[in-house]
Chain A
Amino acid sequence: MQILVAIKQVPARDSQLTIAPSGEWIEEDDLAYEINEPDAYALEAALRLREQHGGEVIALCAGPERVLPVIREALAKGADRAIHVAEDHPEAWDTLAWARLLAAAAETENFDLVLTGLQSDDLGWAQTGVVMAELLRLPHATLVIEAAIEDGRVRVKRELEGGWFQHVSMPLPALVTFQSGSIRLRYATLMGIKRARTKPVRRLTAAELGVAPARQLRLRRLHPPRHDKQTTMLTGSAQEQAAQLVEILRHEVRVL
């Protein structure tokens, strides 16, 4: 079983975000980065499927040199090898073009399954994986929390709204996007980290893949969220904040 896992590097969850003077993106200089959380679950699912069925897990990540730590992390956790699509200007690509780039890189491999996260924590489009499926002519399923291989098909458990779930099966090769949670992520072991240094990382470029940057959707301006609601902020020490809140609950909200 050959499994490709498409992973993305995103600003760390607790980053303080500052809008750049251009207004078109955030200041990147002091940012810490990490693997996109749903992609970490896709990687975990891939490693578990390989443990059951054998084969290889190949991590696929596009972006500038700064994405290499995320690739190393995937290798340290157990991916067998990786593809880095080196691209210094992700902002010059919209989702459709970026999916073309990833799909072209995927096509350099013979795979049975492509796994990725259902959305990224930064742009939150929730579409790159599904667009890749369409470009690669693969059947797909999204919002998946479990995947199993049965009779040459992949059978997934999907999350629906309001606490409902559904099983869906598809012929292989297929593409599946994972929701966060429900399975426990492994940590990289010291041995894994050591081994990762010797695992192959194949470097490709957009030019080699014959894909050019393109952008129909244009990010014009970033701005802080608007405050539609009047929020009363309670200040002072923790004691003082608690005391103010109790007064409010008693006299204004009237629930005490």
Chain B
Amino acid sequence: MSGVLAICEHSAGVWNRMSFETLAAAQQLGRAQGWPVSAVVLGQGTAALAAELAACALDRVYSVEHERLARYTADGFTSALDWLIAHVRPDVVLLPHTYCVRDFAPCLAARAGLSLLSDVTGIRVERGELIFERQLFQGRLNADYSVDGAGRVVVSLQAGAFRADAVEPGSAPIETLTPPLDDTTIRQRPEEPFRESAGELDLGAAELIVAVGRGIREAGNIELVRELAAALGAELAASRPVCDNGWLPIERQVGSSGQTVAPKLYIAIGISGAIQHLVGMKGARTIVAINKDAGAPIFEVADYGIVGDLFEVLPALTELLRPAQA
């Protein structure tokens, strides 16, 4: 049926919220191009999920069912979706840029003979041509991309690029399909997902957070940040490199591989603001960024910015806050 096909992700029957951002993007693209819009959910026992999709303004919902899709494998999902794409022949395939999609989408695009535009932050039509915007250099620059030739393409969308609440309700027919998967298709053997720490520290409930990044340079300097957090009565958090280096425990990591927080105040110290960190904290009510690099992407989301040497700013700030708390 051509048009745009949105691939929706769930985990054991629970939607990934980004699936609805993808659906909203598919509806908007379909409207702009006059294309039919379809959506697919795959797995085993997905009837309830497909019914939810069928209550959206779509032309068709595909429920791709197979016992070998009950658990995610790159090979299983690639084969099933490649088979569906051959059947639907969409002009544009949209997916959420999740960890799971990152695992199979490049393989799927290559197998289907399509190019993949990954981590796209915006889609617009310019003189009849689709322009896809994405970030380069860890968010320091943006780039506009176009697709040559027939222009059929696979696109994964960055978290937050489209609004999930913009999905239009409607009604769509459901088509249930069984892809041809056998034992030789799937080479990966997945084991049960697990969590490492008990996760006893819930930063999600913190009202005030002081977070530290790579700019702190070494473990010994963390004390400066700890003192500021104590003076403010804030929880201490960190970006990934700090936890990777073992300077703070992983339970204090904020971002896509750590916790998602939404405090009243988030002070980001020496954090450049890679998207993997931003997705975990951009819901904070007020964001303060302290960084020596004025071009750091963290300033894109900050309400207040200080470009300066954190080794000078932090002690000054802590000193001023101590009497305020006393």
Binding site for B on A (CB under 8 A): 11, 14, 16-17, 19, 26, 94-96, 99, 118, 121-131, 133-135, 139-143, 153, 158-171, 180-182, 215-234, 238-239, 241-243, 245-246, 248-250, 253, 255-256
Partner of A17, one of B141, B232, B253: B141
- Give chain B's interface residue range (CB within 8 Å of chain A): 35 or more
Taken together as a complex, chains A and B put the C-alpha atoms of A221 and B259 apart, in Å, by: 35
Q: Which of B55-63, B169-177, B314-322 contacts A (4 or more CB under 8 A)?
A: B314-322
Partner of B304, one of A96, A118, A248: A248
Q: B256 near A131 (CB under 8 angstroms)? A: no
**A129: B residues at CB distance < 8 A:** 106
CB under 8 Å from chain A, chain B span 289-312: 293, 295, 297, 299-309, 312
B118 CB-CB contact with A under 8 Å:
yes
B136 CB-CB contact with A under 8 Å:
yes
A14-B293, A126-B118, A238-B308 known; A142 vs B103 contact (CB < 8 Å): yes
A26-B141, A229-B300 known; A216 vs B119 contact (CB < 8 Å): no
A11-B137, A118-B102, A253-B264 known; A234 vs B306 contact (CB < 8 Å): yes
B126 to chain A, nearest CB (A): 9
A168-B189, A238-B308 known; A225 vs B139 contact (CB < 8 Å): yes
Q: A165 near B316 (CB under 8 angstroms)? A: no
**A123: B residues at CB distance < 8 A:** 136
**Which chain A residue shows the least CB distance to B245?**
A181
A140-B74, A159-B257 known; A225 vs B265 contact (CB < 8 Å): no
Binary contact track B50-77/A, C-beta < 8 Å → 1, others 0? 0000000000000000000000011100
Partner of A229, one of B105, B302, B308: B302
B194 to chain A, nearest CB (A): 6
B34 CB-CB contact with A under 8 Å:
no
Q: A216 near B149 (CB under 8 angstroms)? A: yes
Q: A217 near B304 (CB under 8 angstroms)? A: no
Binding site for A on B (CB under 8 A): 73-75, 78, 98-100, 102-107, 109-111, 115-119, 131, 134-149, 153, 187-197, 199, 207-208, 232, 240-241, 243-245, 250, 253, 256-260, 264-265, 286, 288, 293, 295, 297, 299-309, 312-313, 316-317, 319-321, 324-325
A126 to chain B, nearest CB (A): 5
Nearest 8 pairs of A and B residues by beta carbon: A181-B244, A127-B106, A238-B312, A139-B187, A242-B316, A130-B106, A134-B110, A242-B317
Q: A165 near B265 (CB under 8 angstroms)? A: no
**Which chain B residue shows the least CB distance to A24?**
B143
**B305: A residues at CB distance < 8 A:** 231-234
Partner of A180, one of B141, B146, B208, B244: B244
**Which chain A residue shows the least CB distance to B300?**
A225
**B109: A residues at CB distance < 8 A:** 96, 127, 131
Q: A164 near B194 (CB under 8 angstroms)? A: yes
Q: A238 near B309 (CB under 8 angstroms)? A: yes
Partner of B137, one of A121, A153, A227: A121
